[in-house]
Amino acid sequence: MLRFIVRRLAQMVGVVFVLSLLLFIWLRMLPGGTVSAILGDRATPESRERLTKALGLDEPIWVQYWTYLKRAVTGNFGASTAVLPGRDAFDIFLTRFPATIELSFFAIMIAIVLGIPLGYLAARRRASFFDNASVIVSLIGVAVPVFFLAFLLKYIFAVKLGWLPVSGRQGNIDATRVTGFFVLDGLITREWDAAWDAFKHLILPAVTLSTIPFAVIFRITRASVLEVLDEDFVRTAESKGLTNRVIRGRHVLRNALLPVVTTIGLQVGGLLAGAILTETVFSFGGIGEALALSFRGRDYAVLQVLIMASAAIFVLVNLVVDILYAVIDPRVRTR
Amino acid sequence: MSESPQHGWRPGAAKKARIDALAATAAINDAGSVDEKPGVSLIASAWKRLRRDRIFLLGLGITILFLLVAAFAPLIAPHDPSARLLIDQVRPQSNPVPGPQSGFPLGADDLGRDLLSRLIVGSRQTLIVCVFATIFSLLGGLILGTLAGAFGGWIDSTVMRFVDIMLSIPSLLLAFSVAAMASKPSQWTVIIAISIAYLPIFARLLRGSMLAQRHSDHVLAARSLGVKQSAIVFRHMLPNSLGPVIVQATLVLATAVIDAAALSFLGLGNPDDRQPEWGQMLGAAQKFLADYPHLAFYPAACIIVVAFGFTLMGESLREALDPKSRR
């Protein structure tokens, strides 16, 4: 098991390293580039040249990459040009990352807590009205553009009804920061109003972000339960006279959850992409919003760090999923 | 297949395992159709099942309606979609968006252009974006996947390492990144961005089903008859891999429509709005959202309905082509 994990981690480092090289070359080959992004279109050739020299962009690309790598090892990934001009790109990632984790955590929790039981119920009542309706709803859920849903929820629940805050992570509350997860901070420091306020700010973005993972988890659970219900060992269990509770819990659910676990891991990548849209609509201040800002402002230093980080997180989460898989399914361990 | 279905040691193994599971249905299809009458092709037997599937028919109906509207858009649209007919009523301060009135059932946009006509004509560009994005990613995936799956060896490992790295970036983020690279965003940069994002999925899918077939009986039979390698690949292996690819393509059609809207929302879409496109209309409507939500609502509804139709078709196709779900 340990060897497996170490090998996978080494693989991950390899992927991130190659990705960093590809991204670096790609980002620097772009027309326009950083200089135009900083100075705008009307800069004089002299000032352009000065900035090109100052940023080291006149050197051959492999020299630039080597410099970049040397600095990156010391934690210096270059300065942001658009998101927070002058700040180190990695700093921006670190300060914004907790917001995205908090948001994604709540979103995936909503998706799991609703998706698995509903998928199970739909499968047990196959072809009933409940089954058909929930399948249709989940298919519509996938067809709705995430940012439009965000606008819609914001318009109804924040603007028209005024039940929930419009944007941001916390209102005007003097809250103590410990971990950067605002709800958790409020709970640790016993500032209940701060925790409650941060939670209210989370509801709309988290619900928005949860729709696609919910739809996918729901459908996979349903399909997987249907498949397992048809297996011989379920029939054996029934003919042995086991109670329904034991059959469902030990035989059906446990076997049906395997593909669901894989799916949950896969959805994390989608959450990162969805967070770009959701966080932008709700001005949530996580790495998703930073990605949107750096796409708009062509902030290459930040883009490079954030895309690499996203890939690393995605690969890491899938590693965790594969380990979980081995925990749930003893058959995998022997391979 | 030489590897276990879990692909335990590769990054992103779970995602790939799912693509591979879909790919494997191609190989099963051969064996799965023994109960059909001889001479009935896979397509014919799938159509027989689909004809009775109400969900598929609903999706097909929506798609046909969409195609008809796109085909006859200039004849159906009451006005020229780019003519600023109601520009006189536009007051940037008090009334930026003219409301519904006779001849203009949905009102106009902030440049006084008829909203209904723009929606109808917009179906054309939307169709172009999703169809070309799907075709391009399909072709790219076809080339990479066929290379890797048909030849194996070092070609396979090189191509698949490259595909794996692309798969380690979430699809939508990949599309955003590619679109952000374009110095002059246009409809074609949107199409290319979306097609690159979904290309690795097609590549992996095709490679998987090719690999599954390499040692299957019909390929072995062809090889022992002395059929050329290229003929085996193109006439025997490729046609048998197409089932899952068609399913995936139908689903990419749906996501392409939605992703084009997301690109416009982030300012990475086509800035030229003389030829309307739904995603772009939705992206442009965000600045009026607080006061004139209908501007966003109509294009969003069109996108949702069309994406829903494609998804319904894709999901029913997946069930029809998967022998396990035949009951």
Q: Which residues 6+ apart lie within 8 Å of B75 measured at CB?
A: none
Q: Which residues 6+ apart lie within 8 Å of B155 measured at CB?
A: B147, B148
What is the greatest pairwise CA distance in chain A?
86
DSSP state of A159: I
pLDDT of residue A252: 83
Q: Contact, B107 vs B100, CB < 8 A?
A: yes
pLDDT of residue B113: 81
Angle at A221 between CA A220 and CA A225, to 5 degrees: 115
Q: Contact, B263 vs B272, CB < 8 A?
A: no
| Contacts with A18 from chain B: Cβ below 8 Å | 165
> Shortest CB distance from A262 goes to which of B18, B164, B304?
B18
Report the alpha-carbon distance of residue A312 to residue A295 in Å, rounded: 19
Report the alpha-carbon distance of residue A142 to residue A174 in Å, rounded: 39
pLDDT per residue over A108-143, tens digit each? Answer: 999 999 999 999 888 888 878 888 888 888 888 888
pLDDT per residue over A14-30, tens digit each? Answer: 878 888 888 888 777 66
pLDDT of residue B150: 75
pLDDT of residue B17: 67
Chain B, window 95-114: residues with a beta carbon less than 8 angstroms from a chain A beta carbon: none
DSSP state of A85: T
Q: Which residues 6+ apart lie within 8 Å of B288 measured at CB?
A: B96, B97, B110, B295, B296
Tokens of A75: 């934690």
- Is B18 at the interface with chain A, CB within 8 A? yes
Give pTM, 2 decimals: 0.80
Tokens of B267: 């300012």
pLDDT of residue A35: 67
pLDDT of residue A30: 64
- Is B307 at the interface with chain A, CB within 8 A? yes
pLDDT of residue A38: 64
Run of H or E including A68: helix A61-73
ipTM of the complex as predicted: 0.80
| Contacts with B312 from chain A: Cβ below 8 Å | 139
Quickly tell me which residue has 């048909």 as its tokens: B150
| Contacts with A291 from chain B: Cβ below 8 Å | 173, 176
Q: Is the pLDDT of residue A57 over 60?
A: yes
Distances from the Cα of B41 to the Cα of A186, B9, B33, B46, B246, angstroms: 64, 39, 9, 8, 16
Rounded average pLDDT over A193-205: 82
pLDDT of residue B35: 46
Angle at B173 between CA B169 and CA A268, to 5 degrees: 65
Using 50 as the pLDDT threshold, list the residues of chain B that sit under it.
Answer: 1-11, 30-36, 326-327
Q: Which residues 6+ apart lie within 8 Å of A68 measured at CB?
A: A24, A77, A78
Report the alpha-carbon distance of residue A75 to residue A271 in Å, rounded: 26
The sign of the dihedral angle between the CA atoms of A107, A108, A109, A111 is: positive
Q: How far is A196 from chain B (nearest CA, A)?
A: 27
Contact: B168, A311; criterion CB under 8 Å? yes
DSSP of B293-310, one letter per residue?
THHHHHHHHHHHHHHHHH
Bridge partners for B108 per DSSP: B114
Distances from the Cα of A328 to the Cα of A261, A301, A331, B227, angstroms: 9, 41, 9, 47
DSSP state of A86: T
Chain B, window 245-284: residues with a beta carbon less than 8 angstroms from a chain A beta carbon: 254, 258, 261-262, 265-268, 282
Contact: B12, A8; criterion CB under 8 Å? no
Burial environment of residue B237 by CB neighbours within 10 A (0 to 12, 13 to 18, 19 or more): buried
Report the alpha-carbon distance of residue B53 to residue B317 in Å, rounded: 10
Band (A313; pLDDT cuts 50, 70, 90): confident
pLDDT of residue A207: 92
Contact: B171, A273; criterion CB under 8 Å? yes
Q: By C-alpha distance, which of B185, B193, B191 is closest to B268?
A: B185
Contact: A26, B181; criterion CB under 8 Å? yes
Contact: B304, A311; criterion CB under 8 Å? no
Q: How far is A181 from chain B (nearest CA, A)?
A: 24
Counted across chains A and B, CB pairs separated by less than 8 A come out at 150
Q: Which residues 6+ apart lie within 8 Å of A2 measured at CB?
A: none
> Shortest CB distance from A32 goes to which of B183, B258, B265?
B183
Bridge partners for A79 per DSSP: A88
| Contacts with B289 from chain A: Cβ below 8 Å | 151, 155
pLDDT of residue B15: 64
Tokens of B313: 């078709």
Report the alpha-carbon distance of residue B99 to residue B109 in Å, rounded: 9
> Shortest CB distance from A139 goes to which of B17, B289, B312?
B312
Q: By C-alpha distance, which of A51, A90, A93 is closest to A68?
A: A90
Which residue did the predictor score with more confidence, B168 or A145?
A: A145
- Stretch among A34-43, A93-102, B260-269, B315-324 having the lowest mean pLDDT: A34-43
pLDDT per residue over A261-285, tens digit each? Answer: 878 877 887 788 888 888 888 888 8
Tokens of A19: 């990705």
Which residue did the predictor score with more confidence, A103 or A235?
A: A103
DSSP state of B236: I
pLDDT of residue B196: 92
Run of H or E including A289: helix A287-297
Contact: B176, A147; criterion CB under 8 Å? no
Report the alpha-carbon distance of residue B147 to residue B289 in Å, rounded: 48
| Contacts with A11 from chain B: Cβ below 8 Å | 9-11
